[in-house]
């Protein structure tokens, strides 16, 4: 095996920049941030060229939509960063901080209820870029999904956002048909005709919106766009399923605000080394939910950001 010459301090320094040591070598994988998994053709080409120029030619996709270029020698790291910067790209994504955002392709998917690429880019700007210097107890992962099919596994993230289309049902227009097209199309059997009228079981309905515009008598002509939010999920050595906030939000502004409140609460109340799931377990979901649904914590934003907290967080990658 080759003799390793990079000091632990230098390894730590470049790790904070998004360069992860390739085990047993003096080379690194440079983690390129894709914002939400969407790159232009030019950016793809730039990453490929950079892999040939500075790395070992391999480009690997991570499970959370970043792109790593393998085999970059330590002394080429700065040049690599400068090269991809010309294509509007940057490395990063490590540490006890807000991590790169993951999004599904809800923008183009036939089931997508929200513009996931647009929303996840806003989340990226506000909380990946905007909170880059903010130290947290551990890593903090955010996912944006387009519909209740949950391809992006929102409930296994610290915060998971899911697009909704809440059907607006007009009882007066319903004829109680023997063969109800709405009941037929509902994938979770939430819609049924009972006593001559359609009933939607709110506990079963997941607001997928598939019934919207599917009644020939115009009993459901439209719906309200919404955002369901899970908090406290995690996946890894330990797992936890996020719990849903009781409110379905109906504007992007509200969703962005709630994400910020969860991050601030985690920074303020989380113990260094614990994931949000543990913070919620310790404080109780009801208390956490009450705090993130109220605006009190935003009044303490500057104080929370200025506090000297979590100087060394719990994240190891």
**Would you tell me which residues interact with ligand SF4 (CB under 6 A)?**
104-106, 109, 111-112, 145-147, 149-152, 167, 174-177, 180-182, 185-186, 188, 190-191, 193, 198, 200, 205-211, 215, 217, 219
Quick one: tokens of 164? Answer: 């909704």
Residue (51 or 180) nearer to ligand SF4, CB: 180
Residue (72 or 215) nearer to ligand SF4, CB: 215
User: Cβ 116 to ligand SF4, closest distance in Å?
Assistant: 7
**Contact of 94 with 315, CB cutoff 8 Å:** yes
Residue (150 or 272) nearer to ligand SF4, CB: 150
Query: Rounded to an integer, what distance in angstroms lies between the CA atom of residue 249 and that of residue 211?
Result: 20
Longest distance between any two alpha carbons in the chain, whole Å: 79
Residues belonging to the chain: 317
CA distances from residue 223 to 2, 29, 45, 170, 260 in whole angstroms, order as listed: 63, 46, 41, 11, 27
Residue (51 or 65) nearer to ligand SF4, CB: 65
User: Cβ 231 to ligand SF4, closest distance in Å?
Assistant: 18
User: Cβ 137 to ligand SF4, closest distance in Å?
Assistant: 29
Ranked by CB distance to ligand SF4, the top (closest) residue is 146
Query: Rounded to an integer, what distance in angstroms lies between the CA atom of residue 96 and that of residue 8?
Result: 18
User: Cβ 193 to ligand SF4, closest distance in Å?
Assistant: 5
- The owner of tokens 């790209």 is 89
User: Cβ 217 to ligand SF4, closest distance in Å?
Assistant: 4
Query: Rounded to an integer, what distance in angstroms lies between the CA atom of residue 204 and that of residue 188?
Result: 7
Residue (152 or 280) nearer to ligand SF4, CB: 152
**Contact of 208 with 187, CB cutoff 8 Å:** yes
User: Cβ 160 to ligand SF4, closest distance in Å?
Assistant: 11
Residue (96 or 164) nearer to ligand SF4, CB: 164
Per residue in 7-24, is it b (16+ CB within 10 Å) or e — as a string? Answer: eeeebeebbebbbbbbee
Quick one: tokens of 277? Answer: 């799931």
Query: Rounded to an integer, what distance in angstroms lies between the CA atom of residue 118 and that of residue 103?
Result: 10
């Amino acid at each position: 095996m080759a003799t390793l010459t990079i000091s632990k301090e230098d390894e730590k320094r470049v790790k904070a920049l998004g360069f992860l040591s390739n085990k047993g070598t003096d080379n690194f994988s440079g983690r390129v941030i894709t914002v939400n998994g969407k790159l232009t053709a030019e950016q793809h080409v730039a990453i490929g060229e950079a892999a040939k120029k500075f790395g070992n030619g391999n480009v690997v996709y991570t499970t959370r939509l970043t792109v790593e270029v393998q085999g970059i020698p330590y002394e080429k790291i700065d040049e690599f960063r400068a090269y991809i910067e010309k294509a509007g790209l940057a490395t990063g994504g490590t540490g006890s901080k807000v991590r790169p955002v993951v999004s599904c392709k809800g923008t183009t998917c036939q089931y997508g209820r929200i513009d996931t690429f647009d929303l996840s880019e806003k989340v990226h700007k506000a909380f990946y870029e905007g909170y880059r210097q903010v130290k947290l107890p551990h890593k903090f992962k955010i996912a944006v999904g387009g519909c209740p099919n949950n391809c992006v596994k929102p409930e296994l993230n610290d915060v998971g956002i899911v697009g909704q289309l809440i059907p607006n049902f007009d009882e007066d227009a319903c004829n109680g048909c023997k063969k109800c097209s709405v009941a037929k199309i509902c994938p979770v059997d939430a819609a049924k005709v009972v006593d001559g009228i359609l009933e939607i079981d709110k506990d079963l309905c997941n607001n997928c919106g598939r019934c919207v515009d599917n009644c020939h008598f115009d009993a459901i002509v439209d719906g309200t766009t919404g955002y369901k939010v899970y908090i406290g999920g995690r996946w890894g050595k330990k797992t936890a399923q996020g719990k849903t906030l009781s409110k379905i939000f109906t504007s992007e502004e509200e969703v962005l605000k709630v994400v910020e409140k969860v991050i601030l609460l985690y920074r303020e109340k989380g113990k260094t080394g614990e994931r949000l799931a543990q913070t919620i377990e310790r404080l109780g979901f009801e208390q956490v939910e009450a705090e993130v649904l109220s605006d009190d914590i935003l009044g303490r934003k500057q104080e929370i950001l200025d506090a000297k907290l979590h100087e060394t967080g719990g994240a190891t990658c």
